[in-house]
Chain A
Amino acid sequence: MQPGEANKFSMLSKPAAAWKRFRRIFPRRGESAQKDRAGYLMTFPYVLHVIVFLGYPLAFAFVLIFHRWNVYTPMKWVGLGNVKLLAGDPLVWRALANTLYFLLIHIPLQLALALGLAELLNRKLRGRNFFRASYFLPFVISGVVVTILWQQLYATETGLINVLLQRLGLPKVGWLTDPRVAMPAIAIMATWKNVGLYVVLFLVGLQAIPARLYEAAELDGASEWQKFRRITVPLLNPTIMLVLVLSTIGGFSLFIEPYVMTGGGPAGSTLSGILYLYKQAFTFSKMGYASTIGFFWALIIFTVVLLQRRFVEKEAVE
């Protein structure tokens, strides 16, 4: 408001109030209009970006489901052909089974290890930062580096892990060549890579738990395990939820690991949804079918996360 107008208003209060009301609904150009404009201008690039690079592709992805297209020739309508193909595609269901197998191993391992390490770190320690930083390191390193490194560690003949096993008198394991072991091997590697992040998250969560709760429980004669079960776990529920959701989405987004290490083998045991999508799109140029797989996969992720929230998430406990 300009200084001059302020004088005008202060002289006549009732009509002034009415006038203010009027002005809020129909702002004069130059005042809140300027406020509005800044708002529109500031969000315009973002909204435009979302429409062009998210909204349109989403709509197009849906359209693609009903077509056959290799990008270079005109699109061809196939109706529900791709959907039928997907329903009967053993590889899609195999990829789903593989992913669930992966999560079955990865998530408990992740939770246990991350929580365990966080508990250990959750006290006055010398070199706490050092430990925290070293657990966190694999998380920031590119997945490609980790994959190449572990491909070496897992090598059947020359890999460090098998050499170690042999020295201990144990038999060698075909980590990446045995169809039963390949996915667990990737799950272990994925845990190693990501656990640092969750250690940090759990640490934050643990530090937020007031010490008096533990003190009160001790007075009641609770054991370590009871304290853990009754206090720590429920209060960490939001963090556990976060770990669960992030790990699940990560598991469903598995790509670079099978792509570099196993190519989806052996015998399709490490085929992941995204790897299969990539193959359909770029080896066979089947954009329509690839998009169908993409939609199906997104649907699955959505459902799984929904189920997790339903059954695992609890309201915040005071």
Chain B
Amino acid sequence: MKRLLLYLMLTAGALLFLYPFVWMLAATFKPETEIAGFNLIPQQPTLESYRFVFQKIPITRGLVNSLFVSIIVTASVVLFGSMTGYALSRLRFRGRELIFNLTLATMMIPAQLTLIPLYTMMVKFGWVNSYLSLIVPAMMSSYAALLFRQFFRSIPQSLIEAARLDGCSDWRILFTIIYPLSKPAITTVAILTFMGVWNDVLWPLMVIRDQELMTMPQMVTLFAVGGQAEARLGVQLAAATLLAVPIILVYFFIQRYMIESIASSGMKG
């Protein structure tokens, strides 16, 4: 009996989190008049909402932009984060502790502080309305550096010494020995970074004005807030659904890795 109650509660919980999405999906196929209903199967299915969205905004372009920026930033953060993490954990050089403390200190700076100056820097560099403003400031992450440092410390020093004796340079060591052993850390950093960049809307709103360069979340935001959706509910929901679909698809396949890596990073954080 207790078991049944348990499952009931858990299922109620799952419903609470899943039903709105299913409803949203259904609503995008309903004509405006039906949207307020609970029914998940539209009585008069229509593709009009989606057609309107595709007509009004270059949303596939937004998808491409988001993918482009997210992938490049993720690769960069992993690369430079691992380099820095390796140097901080395994190499000896003057100033190492200084840099480590610097990394810790940067984590304490809230993003709000630097938003405005960063924006004005983008204007001065002429990077407004260019991918550069989306990529370069985000290219490196202190959090990634620390995560990698933490992880690399658990790699036995003997492996590294052996490689050194063989005449490997530290660069070689990093890429050919450390990387293959660091799949969990790399996955964690990659997933976290990708999610963070993909979902960020505030920064693109500030630095990108040209629709051709907008990220997908930014485009959908402006679509919903500006008058383009003409206050049509189905249309707004359709845009939102299109935005959600890529993540949901990816989530479907890698949710286990996602959850586990975020959980493990949370414990160390």
A140, A152, A153, A164: the one within 8 Å of B195 (CB): A140
Contacts of A141 in B (CB 8 A): 21, 244, 247-248
**Contact yes or no, B117 A201, CB < 8 A:** no
A53, A144, A297: the one within 8 Å of B240 (CB): A144
Q: Mark A126-154, 1 if CB is under 8 A from B, else 0.
A: 00011111111110111111001111110
Query: Which stretch of A8-16, A33-41, A214-222 is in the interface?
Result: A33-41
Tell me if A19 is interfacial: C-beta within 8 Å of chain B.
no
Contacts of A242 in B (CB 8 A): 266, 269
Bound together, the chains give a CA A301 to CA B48 distance in angstroms of: 45
Bound together, the chains give a CA A253 to CA B201 distance in angstroms of: 12
Query: Which stretch of A76-84, A104-112, A171-179, A274-282 is in the interface?
Result: A274-282
Residue on A nearest B145 in the bound complex, by CB: A46
Bound together, the chains give a CA A192 to CA B27 distance in angstroms of: 20
A142, A158, A239, A255: the one within 8 Å of B243 (CB): A142
**Contact yes or no, B109 A145, CB < 8 A:** no
**Contact yes or no, A43 B87, CB < 8 A:** yes
Contact residues of B: prevailing secondary structure: helix
Which of A46, A153, A197, A259: most chain B CB closer than 10 A? A46
Contacts of B221 in A (CB 8 A): 144, 256, 259-260
Tell me if B94 is interfacial: C-beta within 8 Å of chain A.
yes
Q: A36-B93, A61-B114 are in contact. Are A148 and B237 (CB under 8 A)?
A: yes
In whole Å, how far is B143's beta carbon from the nearest beta carbon of chain A? 12
Q: What are 20 A-B pairs at a CB distance below 8 A? A: A38-B91, A38-B171, A39-B92, A47-B99, A49-B140, A50-B140, A132-B259, A138-B17, A142-B199, A145-B220, A149-B237, A151-B224, A155-B233, A160-B36, A200-B262, A259-B221, A277-B116, A294-B113, A298-B110, A302-B110
- Supplied contacts A140-B195, A281-B116, A282-B206, 18 more A-B pairs, CB within 8 Å: A46-B140, A47-B102, A57-B114, A58-B117, A117-B13, A129-B256, A140-B251, A142-B243, A142-B244, A144-B220, A144-B240, A200-B266, A201-B266, A249-B110, A281-B119, A290-B116, A291-B117, A295-B113
A residues engaging B (CB < 8 A)? Answer: 32, 34-36, 38-40, 42-43, 45-47, 49-50, 53-54, 56-58, 60-61, 64, 69, 71, 117, 120-121, 125, 129-138, 140-145, 148-153, 155, 158-160, 163-164, 192, 196-197, 200-201, 203-205, 239, 242, 249, 253, 255-256, 259-260, 273-274, 277-278, 281-282, 287, 290-291, 294-295, 297-298, 301-302
